[in-house]
């Protein structure tokens, strides 16, 4: 089963060998989904594919689903197909996935599934069951996993880690997080432990903020610094 994935493609101006896939973050309740990182990527010379998550709980507007959609809807497979098809049509030899929060989870998960060379992520919820199956978000867990009990929690918690383990070559992961953020110990450290176990490359940058909302101002600078390094670009100090 396949689903339509809402997206926009901005063609390369110089670096036609790299496709950057930018995943949206979750919007506040009642706000419509929107693309993210237009401004941060506005002068990036590579292909930029912006992907929207509009397959969550019915609206209007539709809620977030961490790019998984309703259980059995085929959304995740369709996202992979979109990335792989776009890269092939453009002749891009390298894929970089990016995003923060929900988009950071998606960048890691789909980056592992499509063989991305690099992932740039800000405060991703790597243990998705731990994050979604609590009181605040359990309707989303029930939408994407069919429930929010212990079984679904374990399955969602394993989803990203199983994808990284299954990747023939795990991506090089660049991740940033608040030094005092709850995401650091609950989500970022388990990811880094897995990458170390697999011998995969990773870097962590800790910011001086404690609330998850702080990632919104920290991530754009981190994103462009990491992406410029990946693309071999020099920026003015």
pLDDT given for residue 235 in this prediction:
59
* Tokens standing for residue 27: 């919007």
pLDDT given for residue 29 in this prediction:
83
Q: How far apart are CA 185 and CA 197, in angstroms?
A: 17
- Coil vs helix vs strand at 107: helix
pLDDT given for residue 104 in this prediction:
98
Q: CB count, 10 Å around CB of 217? A: 10
Which string of DSSP letters, residue by residue, matches 190-201? HHHHHHHHHT--
Q: What is the pTM of this model?
A: 0.96
Domain regions of the chain by residue span: 7-231
Angle at 14 between CA 230 and CA 35, to 5 degrees: 70
CB 132 within 8 Å of CB 148: yes
Q: CB count, 10 Å around CB of 84? A: 15
Q: How far apart are CA 72 and CA 18, in angstroms?
A: 31
Q: CB count, 10 Å around CB of 148? A: 22
| Cis amide prior to 222 (ω within 30 degrees) | no
pLDDT given for residue 71 in this prediction:
93
Backbone φ, ψ for residue 81 (5° rounding): -60, -45
Q: CB count, 10 Å around CB of 50? A: 20
List Cβ neighbours of 200 (8 Å cut-off, separation of 6 or more). Answer: 164, 170, 171, 172, 173
CB 173 within 8 Å of CB 144: no
- Report the CATH superfamily, name and number, of domain 7-231: Alpha/Beta hydrolase fold, catalytic domain (3.40.50.1820)
pLDDT in tens, the chain (237 residues): 788 999 999 999 999 999 999 999 998 888 999 999 999 999 999 999 999 999 999 878 999 999 999 998 999 999 999 999 999 999 999 999 999 999 999 999 999 999 999 999 999 999 999 999 988 899 999 999 999 999 999 999 999 999 999 999 999 999 999 999 999 999 999 999 999 999 999 999 999 888 888 888 899 999 999 999 999 986 554
């Amino acid at each position: 089963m396949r689903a339509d994935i809402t997206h926009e493609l901005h063609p390369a101006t110089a670096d036609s060998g790299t496709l950057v896939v930018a995943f949206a973050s979750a919007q506040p309740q009642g706000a419509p989904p929107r693309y993210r990182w237009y401004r941060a990527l506005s002068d990036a010379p590579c292909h930029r594919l912006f992907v929207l998550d509009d397959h969550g709980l019915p609206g209007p507007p539709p809620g977030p689903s961490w790019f998984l959609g309703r259980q059995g809807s085929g959304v995740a497979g369709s996202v992979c197909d979109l990335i792989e098809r776009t890269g092939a049509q453009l002749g891009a030899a390298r894929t970089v996935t990016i995003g923060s929060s929900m988009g950071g989870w998606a960048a890691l998960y789909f980056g592992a599934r499509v063989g991305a060379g690099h992932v740039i992520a800000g405060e991703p919820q790597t243990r998705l069951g731990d994050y979604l199956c609590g009181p605040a978000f359990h309707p989303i867990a029930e939408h994407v996993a069919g429930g929010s009990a212990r079984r679904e929690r374990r399955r969602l918690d394993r989803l990203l880690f199983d994808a990284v383990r299954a990747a023939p070559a795990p991506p090089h992961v660049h991740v940033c997080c608040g030094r005092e953020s709850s995401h650091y110990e609950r989500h970022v450290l388990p990811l880094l432990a897995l990458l170390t176990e697999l011998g995969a490359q990773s870097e962590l940058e800790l910011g001086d903020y404690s609330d998850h909302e702080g990632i919104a101002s920290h991530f754009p600078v981190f994103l462009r610094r990491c992406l410029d390094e990946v693309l071999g670009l020099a920026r003015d100090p």
